[in-house]
Copies of this chain bind each other. A is one copy, B any other.
């Protein structure tokens, strides 16, 4: 039986980031960029106005000026300011040559003279403005060739905006893993059915598919496999077509726990079976080498739902993050202050459903009442898991505990 840290390290040794591929920008949200993106032009690409107003030379400002042109955004000025005059200009439009300031329209008044020429009055105070007021100079934000978004970045809304600005309708990124989910056990019935004596509903599929989606991957639900070798093997063979196969149940010491042996028969190499963790001790992990470059990672999670949920977070989520190319694949552990005493009976290190709260003075954590690995209701009251070490002991209120947010 190995420790959690050894198990996570073993998983990450077997999980290599996917090869980068071209992905349409709208599909790339949440993925990891696999190329450096450099600006293909200055930003802004020209000196531009930050306001709707009148472009002019500061030297000309304390007077009434003829408006010799109107430039909307998307147009370019055809006139230059080489004499006292103003050019009306809209936010985002290119600055006329010669202008060194833009006076916002709300500071001015305009009228037509007898010949129909529009004249604009500029207030005196503008004379004291600095050259460049209300102008964003070409390249002020970014120079052509600058690194805009670095390889390894997670693509958030602002990165997608920046990639769009620099014309990347396709980007090289690492795709979402396809993760098959197969619940096993003769006691399971679909959630639409009323369980008969000795039966329970298959809650793991709904929960695991949601965890997979939250991790940024695509779930492929495969339903329920019966505790019968030929049927289980057929379902496993389907699941092995995915990048990752997550099974639940069938990994303990029971006479009908066929999952490890049927995975072996399907060519999956066992990496570990059993981890020193509560809940989740029987967890199984192995790898199918489909080709020198393609492999399926296979996780046999214990069947009780809290065990499945915790083992997904501890072992499957880091694997998915590594496949997707996140530089930090391991879960983040927060140190939080325990709000209430907590007594453990710790034959194994325990990941206890808990409530993590953020305060200005630092995080706190409160253990949630929990009757064991089938108690999904405890997880509903929780938003994290608190780590308590091995050994029978009482943690006093105020103790600092490691916590992993869900």
**Distance A406 CA – B154 CA, assembled complex (angstroms):** 13
Please determine whether A309 and B188 come into contact, CB atoms closer than 8 angstroms. no
Please determine whether A198 and B76 come into contact, CB atoms closer than 8 angstroms. yes
Task: Choose among B73, B158, B188 the residue that contacts A186 (Cβ–Cβ < 8 A).
Answer: B73
Please determine whether A374 and B149 come into contact, CB atoms closer than 8 angstroms. no
Name which of A41, A43, A168, A204 has the most chain B CB atoms within 10 A of its CB.
A43
- A352 on the interface (CB 8 Å rule)? no
Interface code A165-201, partner B: CB below 8 Å = 1, 0 otherwise? Answer: 1111100000000000000011110011111011111
Query: Which residues of chain B are within 8 angstroms of A197 by Cβ–Cβ distance?
Result: 46, 76, 94
- For residues 189 through 236 of chain A, which have their beta carbon under 8 Å from a beta carbon of chain B? 191-195, 197-211, 213-214, 221, 227
**Stretch in A7-15, A121-129, A248-256 touching the partner:** A248-256
Chain B residue at minimal CB-CB distance from A303: B92
Please determine whether A92 and B157 come into contact, CB atoms closer than 8 angstroms. no
Query: Which residues of chain B are within 8 angstroms of A161 by Cβ–Cβ distance?
Result: 203-204, 206-207, 210, 305, 309, 376, 379
Please determine whether B46 and A149 come into contact, CB atoms closer than 8 angstroms. no
**Stretch in A55-63, A135-143, A389-397 touching the partner:** A135-143
Please determine whether B136 and A372 come into contact, CB atoms closer than 8 angstroms. yes
- A97 on the interface (CB 8 Å rule)? no
Please determine whether A142 and B377 come into contact, CB atoms closer than 8 angstroms. yes
- A362 on the interface (CB 8 Å rule)? yes
Count copies of this chain in the complex.
2
Question: Do A371 and B255 form a contact, CB below 8 Å, given A165-B305, A362-B361?
Answer: no
Mostly helix, strand, loop or mixed at chain A's interface?
Answer: loop
Please determine whether B379 and A158 come into contact, CB atoms closer than 8 angstroms. yes
Name which of A25, A203, A206, A209 has the most chain B CB atoms within 10 A of its CB.
A206
Which residues of chain A have a CB within 8 Å of any CB of chain B?
Answer: 25-26, 29, 41, 43-46, 48, 50-53, 70, 72-76, 88, 90-94, 104-106, 136, 140-142, 146, 148-149, 153, 156-169, 185-188, 191-195, 197-211, 213-214, 221, 227, 252-257, 303-305, 309, 334-335, 358-363, 371-380, 382, 400, 406
Starting from the known contacts A75-B186, A148-B380, 19 additional A-B residue pairs (CB-CB under 8 Å) come to: A29-B214, A43-B377, A48-B374, A72-B256, A73-B254, A74-B198, A90-B252, A92-B303, A92-B374, A105-B253, A141-B375, A153-B380, A158-B207, A158-B309, A162-B376, A164-B207, A167-B193, A167-B201, A362-B362
